[in-house]
Amino acid sequence: MSRSPSLPERPRLDLDPEMSEAERLSAIRQHFERLVAVNDELDDRLSEALDRREELKEEVEQLKNRNEALKTSSLYVATVEEVTDDGVVIKQHGNNQEVLTDASPHLDAEVESGDRVAINDSFAIQTLLDDETDSRAQAMEVDRSPDVRYEDIGGIDEQVREVREAVEDPLKNPEMFEEVGVDPPSGVLLYGPPGTGKTMLAKAVANETDATFIKMAGSELVRKFIGEGSRLVRDLFELAADREPAVIFIDEIDAVASKRTDSKTSGDAEVQRTMMQLLSEMDGFDDRGEIRIMAATNRFDMLDEAILRPGRFDRLIEVPKPAPEGRQKILEIHTRDMNVADDVDFADFAEKLEDYSGADIASLATEAGMFAIRDERTEVTRADFEAAYEKLESTDDSTTLPGHTDYQY
């Protein structure tokens, strides 16, 4: 920084008493001129200083703005693909641009492949996104002790038996399989229309085996950013390994494992990548320990056969809509805690619930109860069930109207 030149010296007036009048006047005049000169110089210096002050003020303003902009500027989200000696390879979400970059020095040692990170305009990694901001947490439902029991499931006794054999027995008595020399099924695929109890089956078996129930929706797996689907699959299996015994349940598996389409859009490629990750997790899972894998679909016809090969989902269990007897059982289950009037005949009523799924019957029972409440009664009568039936039949919503659900299997 340049130092400002020293101030001009203050002129002095030396008047000798010996001086003549004229000499004194001339000295005073000279002194006055010097004062004026110094004053002018000081004026100049002052105005220079004021200019400089203005300049500095402007500079401060600019720096303040830049600082604010830096503090508030948006960061972009990316996934770390690889940590190499030359830097970190990231893939930006949204545009999938791959970039070789660096992490801020304080993060250097922490960045790992697969991490979600925030990057700035120059692609430098600024923050590691933690689990809370991470969408992974939202995509999985983890339940240490689901509250569904086998007796809560009606009309699909045979399916319950099959699931127990394929999932419960290998968890409870693995030695039996070893002694007999057979491998338990690798994965169990439940297929059938919506609302028939597939999720209940998976929860009940987790409950019975004291296993943690970990559910992932296939639709969540494909909705995520590029690279995240396969990461989620990896996390799912890692989490299960941490929590064993565990039952992994992948709902709507058709979203990740449907037959290849011809189009080569990046979305499809991403779904394929997620499916490949799932297959490789299942293949590398010989030593599965206390983890069982279940999946469900309403679209069996759409599934890529690759996932049905031995060692993958090799036990298929169809879960259909219930027959009249099953419907009666489900009615009984869902009215267990209700005060049902004597005039209600479930066997008779179940006959007319043609094409109703378990979920439809559950909402019918709730509706019937609501009619009683509206009437300020605690007893639910035949008329309430009839009214609920009429209401459901007239609901113009294809997702709740029995028999109108769009699926194939």
Ligand X SMILES: Nc1ncnc2c1ncn2[C@@H]1O[C@H](COP(=O)(O)OP(=O)(O)OP(=O)(O)O)[C@@H](O)[C@H]1O
Stretches 6-14, 154-162, 377-385, 391-399: which one binds ligand X (CB under 6 A)?
154-162
Work out which of 166, 236, 359, 368 binds ligand X, going by CB under 6 A: 359
Q: What are phi and psi of 251, to 5 degrees?
A: -80, 155
- Whether residue 8 contacts residue 40, with contact meaning beta carbons closer than 8 Å, is answered with no
* Stretch 362-381 residues interacting with ligand X (CB under 6 A): 362
Q: Is 302 flagged in the annotation as binding?
A: no
Residue 167 engages ligand X in binding (rule: CB under 6 A): no
Rounded distance between C-alpha atoms, residue 4 and residue 45, angstroms: 10
Residue 198 engages ligand X in binding (rule: CB under 6 A): yes
Work out which of 194, 245, 320, 324 binds ligand X, going by CB under 6 A: 194
Environment class of residue 52 by beta-carbon count within 10 Å: exposed (0-12), middle (13-18) or buried (19+)?
exposed
Shortest distance (Å) from residue 334 CB to ligand X: 6
Rounded distance between C-alpha atoms, residue 269 and residue 254, angstroms: 15
CB atoms within 10 A of CB 170: 20
Residue 330 engages ligand X in binding (rule: CB under 6 A): yes
Work out which of 170, 197, 229, 402 binds ligand X, going by CB under 6 A: 197
Work out which of 119, 139, 200, 248 binds ligand X, going by CB under 6 A: 200
Shortest distance (Å) from residue 184 CB to ligand X: 23
Residue 154 engages ligand X in binding (rule: CB under 6 A): yes
Residue 153 engages ligand X in binding (rule: CB under 6 A): yes
Q: Is 196 flagged in the annotation as binding?
A: yes
Return all residues near 80 (Cβ < 8 A) that are at least 6 apart.
88, 89, 90, 111, 112, 113, 114, 115, 116, 117, 125
Environment class of residue 400 by beta-carbon count within 10 Å: exposed (0-12), middle (13-18) or buried (19+)?
middle
Residue 358 engages ligand X in binding (rule: CB under 6 A): yes
Cβ proximity to ligand X: between 80 and 380 the closer is 380
Rounded distance between C-alpha atoms, residue 216 and residue 219, angstroms: 9
Work out which of 214, 255, 296, 365 binds ligand X, going by CB under 6 A: 296
Rounded distance between C-alpha atoms, residue 336 and residue 330, angstroms: 10
Work out which of 155, 170, 184, 227 binds ligand X, going by CB under 6 A: 155
Q: Is 197 flagged in the annotation as binding?
A: yes
Distances (CA, A) of 313 to 162, 188, 198, 316, 317: 14, 5, 15, 7, 10
Rounded distance between C-alpha atoms, residue 344 and residue 366, angstroms: 15
Shortest distance (Å) from residue 103 CB to ligand X: 41
First to last CA, the chain: 81
Residue 298 engages ligand X in binding (rule: CB under 6 A): yes
Q: Is 87 flagged in the annotation as binding?
A: no
Stretches 17-25, 28-36, 153-161, 366-374: which one binds ligand X (CB under 6 A)?
153-161
Residue 256 engages ligand X in binding (rule: CB under 6 A): no
Q: Give me the amino acid identity at 331.
A: L
Residue 251 engages ligand X in binding (rule: CB under 6 A): yes
Cβ proximity to ligand X: between 119 and 317 the closer is 317
Stretches 101-109, 194-202, 256-264, 345-353: which one binds ligand X (CB under 6 A)?
194-202
Cβ proximity to ligand X: between 129 and 333 the closer is 333
Cβ proximity to ligand X: between 227 and 322 the closer is 322
- In the bound state, the residue with its beta carbon closest to ligand X is 358
Q: How many residues bind ligand X (CB under 6 A)?
A: 19
Return all residues near 332 (Cβ < 8 A) that are at least 6 apart.
154, 346
Residue 328 engages ligand X in binding (rule: CB under 6 A): no
Distances (CA, A) of 295 to 151, 161, 217: 21, 17, 9
Cβ proximity to ligand X: between 153 and 372 the closer is 153
Cβ proximity to ligand X: between 78 and 303 the closer is 303
Rounded distance between C-alpha atoms, residue 250 and residue 199, angstroms: 9
Q: Where are the alpha helices (DSSP H) in 102-217?
A: 136-139, 157-163, 169-172, 174-180, 198-208
Annotated binding site for ATP, which residues?
195-200, 334
Question: Which residues of this protein are in contact with ligand X, per CB under 6 A?
Answer: 153-156, 194-200, 251, 296, 298, 330, 333, 358-359, 362
